[in-house]
Amino acid sequence: MKLMTNLKNILFTACAALLTQGCHMTADRGISTDGARHFFADRQIDRRVDSVMRLMTLDEKIGQLVLYSSHFTTTGPTLPKNVEEAIRNGTCGNIFNAHVPEYNRELQRVAVEETRMHIPLLFGYDVIHGMKTIFPINLGMSCSWDLQGIENSARVAAREAIASGLNWTFSPMVDITRDPRWGRVSEGSGEDTYLGSLIAIAMVQGYQGTTPEALASDTTILACVKHFAAYGAPEAGRDYNTVDLTDRTLRETYLPPYKAAVDAGVGTVMAAFNDIDAVPAHASQYLMQQILRKEWGFNGFVVSDFTGINELVPHGVAADSSLAGQLAIEAGINMDLQGDVYHRFLKWLVETGMVPQKQVDIMCAEVLRVKFALGLFDDPYKYHDLQAAEKEFYKPANLAAARDMACKSMVLLKNDKEALPIAAGKKIALIGPFADARLDLLGSWYGQGQADKVVSILTGLKERFGADKVIYTKGSEPDKDDRSGFAAALNAARSADKVVMAVGHPGFWSGEATSLTSIRIPAIQQELIREVAQSGKPLILVLLNGRPLDLSWESTVADAIVEAWYPGTEGGHAVADVLSGDFNPCGKLTMTFPRNLGQVPIHYDAKNTGRPYTPGQGEQHYVSRYLNEPTATPLYPFGYGLSYTTFEYSDLKVAPEKTDMKQPVAVTVTVKNTGKVRGTEVVQLYVRDLVASVTRPTRQLKGFERVTLEPGESREVSFTITSDAVGFYRQDMSFGYEPGDFKVWAGGSSDAALEGSFEITK
């Protein structure tokens, strides 16, 4: 009660007249002209922010712009003594990397009961694809094309994060990624802008809810869309590297997912490490002020990436850290994550006139506005229920959701000779360095997931097929030149009916600072596959990896290939579900798998060029291809994925065939399950603008729908093509569509052949 009295005294003594309408957030919120919903445009909150800021010193305002990281010892999290003191004196308003409920509650108590202003702390953490119950990596989940399932994964993660004392996650990562050499492709949703934008919305809504009232509840947390902008396009796929994009490409391909997150009400944005057009994002007024705030109307706050402000010095745009701070605050970076730049230099910059105090006031107000909207001033302890962990961590519903998403994320890349599914009673040889792995199944950024809670593939297969039906041998380490286990692996394969090999990359090969110059399975594992293949038994590869791989050799040796990604806590159960046929695989690739590394970066929506390669046209020399590669096509295209059943597409209809686009174009297609088992298909719609004032992609995804059909069942699937769907940035950089002819395709992947057309008239 003393705490609540202190908070109310602060608010009321500042300016009682401004608070006559009460102290509870209302449902009223601002709506931007483009339809974006701004969770933080609330006049009443603005009044409360003003009332607090009128009492704050410059040091305390700067403190709200400081985010320090916790450290961990064998006994738990710790903070340097100077940081604990900074909380007490109001010069540190936010903590990163602390996720023990009791510890966080005590820090919150210090902030709201022992400081002059009683302003609550934000507690941030990288909750990327789960907190305790770990879902598949984000790239894997995107292959489900299940927006509701993805939203629910974020909702589960939010509840477990809350039970850990957190109220802010640095997720979702919505960077469009087209180069599998880059290790952080595992954190995103792949190469497509349209799908990536929808997943961005789903993730934000899963974390924050869909209304301001939901955000202020005790079941949601603050989301942070990252990395703004275009961090996923580094030169040569090398992490932190330069990004060189035209403004048209930036706006058409890379910015829409961030914009979608802003429209969904995301509260915070994280700046990217990279530069764009020679300006680092942490110093880019074009990105942070012009686009994010002025064009999009964003009114949450922007946080730096870890020491991102400091890195303006090695970028070569600031001579020292103080000048880096000046560039960052002028650009609109509200909060300094672990850089200590604002804490050390911002007051001096204001006092010397290098930074106007008004800019600090604006930055502080934006942070406080988010804290009010989150409900922290009304109940600072709502994220610190010390009994919540027991109720939330690994509860059955969470595990069931993780298992379901792991199944939906898996992509069947090959299935010859009916190698899959494996019938009951068959003897299985399970071989490979990841067959009994646990931690590797979690992938990168696995929150506080525990290896001892992970269901290994070995455990999953034994539970499903019977321990006496599974012969396990490791065969080799992931990347160690040791063949001592090869003979046992071959013997196991010879004694089995079918061989399952769990191969790929260790979990720590994906994530930040894990760029690779090879995207092949390590050589020792390839040798193991070659050895085991001598058995002549049906060979099934289960891949564990966080990026598209070069499978040009493996695809010729294996009878079946299942892309399992890093499937998470319930990974072993999910693999068993798919291999047994208890779950019919339905995943579709969201990143193209190249034939070899020389093709990357590669993506389905490339432009035609003046000399395009045309598959099926025989020898072509002076065309856009590689001299030593007979085809310019990928091994497995975007949108591709097999099933244990088959689907047939027919009756594609487009209406009207001529339109002025005052009404959307309607497209219908019939899909039929022509196989023998129930299955789910992701029906995909692609569009091409044949002639425009600027070059356009050969096709672009503009719609999709997941449909589940019984054997012999047919269904008509409908799509609409709006004016925005055929719009683009024209020569003068205005956005809109142009009259002309368009093609549409519908099918089960980006190489769909069933086509129709329509014309936009003048």
How confident is the model at residue 78, as a pLDDT?
Answer: 58
What does residue 63 show for φ and ψ, rounded to 5 degrees?
-60, -35
* pLDDT exceeds cutoff 80 at 71: no
Going 240 to 135 to 579 to 670, the CA torsion angle's sign is: negative
CB atoms within 10 A of CB 454: 22
Residue 742 structure tokens = 């368009």
How confident is the model at residue 630, as a pLDDT?
Answer: 77
C-alpha 18/C-alpha 30 separation (Å) is 19
Element (H, E) at 759: strand 754-760
Which residue shows structure tokens 């919150």? 108
Type of residue found at 588? K
How confident is the model at residue 75, as a pLDDT?
Answer: 54
Cα distances (angstroms) measured from residue 270 to each of 226, 231, 258, 698? 5, 11, 10, 33
How confident is the model at residue 77, as a pLDDT?
Answer: 61
Cα-based angle 531, 537, 541 (whole degrees, multiple of 5): 70
Mean pLDDT for 683-706 is: 98
C-alpha 287/C-alpha 280 separation (Å) is 10
* pLDDT exceeds cutoff 50 at 663: yes
Sequential DSSP letters for 716-752: EEEEEE-TGGG-EE-TTS-EE--SEEEEEEEESSTT-
3-class DSSP state of 93: coil
CB atoms within 10 A of CB 358: 9
484-541 pLDDT tens trace: 999 999 999 999 999 999 999 999 999 999 999 999 999 999 999 999 999 999 999 9
Of 351, 248, 334, 346, nearest to 298 (Cα)? 334
Residue predicted with more confidence, 358 or 31: 358
Of 503, 492, 573, 478, nearest to 532 (Cα)? 492
3-class DSSP state of 234: coil
Going 115 to 116 to 120 to 124, the CA torsion angle's sign is: negative
Q: How far is CA 198 from the centre of its chain?
A: 11
3-class DSSP state of 239: coil
Region of 356 please: left (phi>0), alpha (psi -120 to 50) or beta: beta
Burial class (CB in 10 A: 0-12, 13-18, 19+), 91: buried
**How much is the mean pLDDT over the chain?**
94
681 CB contacts (<8 Å, ≥6 apart)?
586, 643, 647, 671, 673, 706, 707, 709, 748
Mean pLDDT for 667-690 is: 99
How confident is the model at residue 73, as a pLDDT?
Answer: 56
Mean pLDDT for 268-280 is: 98
Which residue shows structure tokens 């001892």? 452
- From 126, 146, 305, 336, active-site residue: 305
Pairing of strands 122-125, 168-169: parallel
* pLDDT exceeds cutoff 80 at 635: yes
Pairing of strands 268-271, 301-303: parallel
* pLDDT exceeds cutoff 70 at 9: no
SS (H, E, C) 679-716: EEEEEEEEEEECCCCCCCECCEEEEEEEEEECCCCEEE
How confident is the model at residue 38, as a pLDDT?
Answer: 59
Residue predicted with more confidence, 34 or 726: 726
Element (H, E) at 138: helix 138-142
How confident is the model at residue 617, as a pLDDT?
Answer: 79
C-alpha 653/C-alpha 641 separation (Å) is 24
Of 529, 572, 541, 579, nearest to 426 (Cα)? 579
Identify whether 179 is a catalytic site residue. no
SS (H, E, C) 569-614: CCHHHHHHHHHHCCCCCCCCCCCCECCCHHHCCCCCCCECCCCCCC
Mean pLDDT for 564-589 is: 99
328-367 pLDDT tens trace: 999 999 999 999 999 999 999 999 999 999 999 999 999 9
Find out whether 276 and 245 touch, Cβ atoms under 8 Å.
yes
Q: Give the side-chain half-sphere CA count within 13 A for 81.
A: 0
C-alpha 221/C-alpha 123 separation (Å) is 10
E-strand spans in 158-295? 168-169, 224-228, 268-271, 275-276, 279-280
CB atoms within 10 A of CB 396: 7
Mean pLDDT for 617-642 is: 90
* pLDDT exceeds cutoff 90 at 618: no
C-alpha 574/C-alpha 98 separation (Å) is 31
Residue 413 structure tokens = 């890349």
706-715 pLDDT tens trace: 999 999 999 9
* pLDDT exceeds cutoff 70 at 29: no
Which residue shows structure tokens 């009044």? 47
E-strand spans in 190-271? 224-228, 268-271
C-alpha 389/C-alpha 372 separation (Å) is 25
How confident is the model at residue 632, as a pLDDT?
Answer: 85
Burial class (CB in 10 A: 0-12, 13-18, 19+), 9: exposed
Residue 67 structure tokens = 């985010």
Percentage of the chain modeled with pLDDT above 70: 94
Mean pLDDT for 303-326 is: 98
Residue 197 structure tokens = 């934008």
82 CB contacts (<8 Å, ≥6 apart)?
none
Residue 594 structure tokens = 């190249």
Find out whether 561 and 550 touch, Cβ atoms under 8 Å.
no
- What is the band of 4 on the pLDDT scale with cuts at 50, 70, 90? very low
What does residue 673 show for φ and ψ, rounded to 5 degrees?
-80, 105
* Domain annotation for the chain: domains and CATH numbers: 400-598 (3.40.50.1700), 645-760 (2.60.40.10)
Of 227, 222, 136, nearest to 177 (Cα)? 227
DSSP 8-state code for residue 652: E
Type of residue found at 64? Q
Mean pLDDT for 595-616 is: 93
Q: Of the ranges 2-6, 106-110, 160-164, which one carries the lowest mean pLDDT score?
A: 2-6
122-146 pLDDT tens trace: 999 999 999 999 999 999 999 999 9
3-class DSSP state of 456: coil
Pairing of strands 665-673, 714-721: antiparallel
C-alpha 116/C-alpha 56 separation (Å) is 9
How confident is the model at residue 28, as a pLDDT?
Answer: 28
3-class DSSP state of 389: helix
Q: Is the peptide bond before 229 cis (omega within 30 degrees of 0)?
A: yes
- What is the band of 20 on the pLDDT scale with cuts at 50, 70, 90? very low
Q: How far is CA 37 from the centre of its chain?
A: 21
Residue 731 structure tokens = 């020569």
